[in-house]
Structure 1
Amino acid sequence: MSRAAEETNRRMLRARDAMDRAYAQPLDVPTLARVAHVSPAHFARTFRATFGETPHRYLQRRRVERAMFLLRETDRRVTEICFEVGFNSPGTFSRTFHDIVGRSPRAYRKEAGRGAAAAVPTCFTMAWMRPSAAPSALPVPSVD
């Protein structure tokens, strides 16, 4: 790997780490580009090339991951969780949550509260519960 590629990766990781730390804050591409010390257009292109998704989609996914935890582990209302993880609208939160997880926040909470996951090792549960950036990219086993 060239020195320039390493520097680019380091800058993108710096921005992604900032997103992970401040996921609930209002973050936009110009702000993240400043963290990475590049122009906004270059940041958006390079982030997608590096991580396989846009900065906006990555941030949404991180927020939904946190919401999933709060829905499983707390009794807070869905609306409270929506605002706590950084969404400005319950409608946008529900739509985004459904797009990423495949069901509504309320349905997710209901299914996660069944207690069936208690018999499954935590490492498997965590891997299964994490939303995928591209579920269609998973290999499908053949049934021959």
Structure 2
Amino acid sequence: MSEEAHAAQDPALLRRLLRAKDRMDAASHEEWPVVRLAEVSGVSEAHFARSFKQAFGIPPHRYLLTRRIERAMALLRETDLPITDIAFDTGWASLGTFGRTFRDVTGNSPSAVRSQGRQAPRELGAVPVCIVNAARRPGLTTAVSEKRRQAANGTNMPEQQQESS
């Protein structure tokens, strides 16, 4: 077994990585640079970044973006807060960055998600919230910058092919 495969299965390391992931979940509106996450996990920055991606399938920054977008989507559907407030409450430094990233990840603008949420029937009451959130979680397997580059070039390969190339 390679050293990296062994590290990914090390229960102590996985607990440390989960600690950092739990902190991001609890405070996704805060800044979470790799140095801070590594400190929470008690490992070096490089080891943290490599191990997090290996354990959870995506880099820590992309995980944090997913959580922020997920939270913003819930607030858009369930509250009447202004979109600007939602952007800042979910950790974005600017409304423009929020809107652009939101559209890149979800394919819709925040206002479109809000209007779709109001039109959709509310029949999900019997389904546990964690399941509903998982089903609505944006799939962010391709970096946002890569999606923009593909759109600019007019290429639109399926994500499975993108990951292998």
Q: TM-score range by the shorter chain?
A: 0.7 to 0.9
SS of the aligned residue for 2:121 comes to helix
The CA distance in 2 between the partners of 1:40 and 1:126, in whole Å, is 30
Return closer, same or farther for 1:134/1:121 CA change in 2, 3 Å cut-off: farther
Gaps of 5+ in 2: 143-158, 161-165
TM-superposed deviation, 1:121: 5.9
Deviation by residue 1:52-87 (Cα, 9 ceiling, x = unmatched): 111111111111111111101111111110000101
Match of 1:132 in 2: 139
Identity level (%): 45
1:6 pairs, out of 7, 11, 16, with 11
Partner SS for 2:10 = helix
Counting matched residue pairs gives 136
**1:141 aligns to what?**
none
Q: Quick one: which of 98, 107, 110 aligns to 2:103?
A: 98
- CA–CA distance in structure 2, aligned partners of residues 119 and 27 of structure 1: 35
Distance 1:121 1:88 in 2: 33
Task: Give the TM-score normalised by structure 1.
Answer: 0.83
Aligned pair partner of 1:22 in 27, 33, 39: 27
Q: Is the 8 A contact 1:33 1:39 kept in 2?
A: yes
Tell whether the 8 Å contact from 1:117 to 1:125 is kept in structure 2 after alignment.
no
Which residue of 29, 36, 46 maps to 1:41?
Answer: 46
2:74 is matched with 69
| 1:60 alignment partner, SS class | helix
C-alpha change, 1:122 and 1:90, in structure 2 (3 Å) is farther
* AA at the equivalent of 1:117: P
Residue deviations 1:27-52 (CA, integer Å, cap 9, x gap): 21100100000011111111111111
Contact kept? 1:11, 1:37, Cα under 8 Å: yes
| Alpha-carbon shift at residue 108 of structure 1 (Å) | 0.6
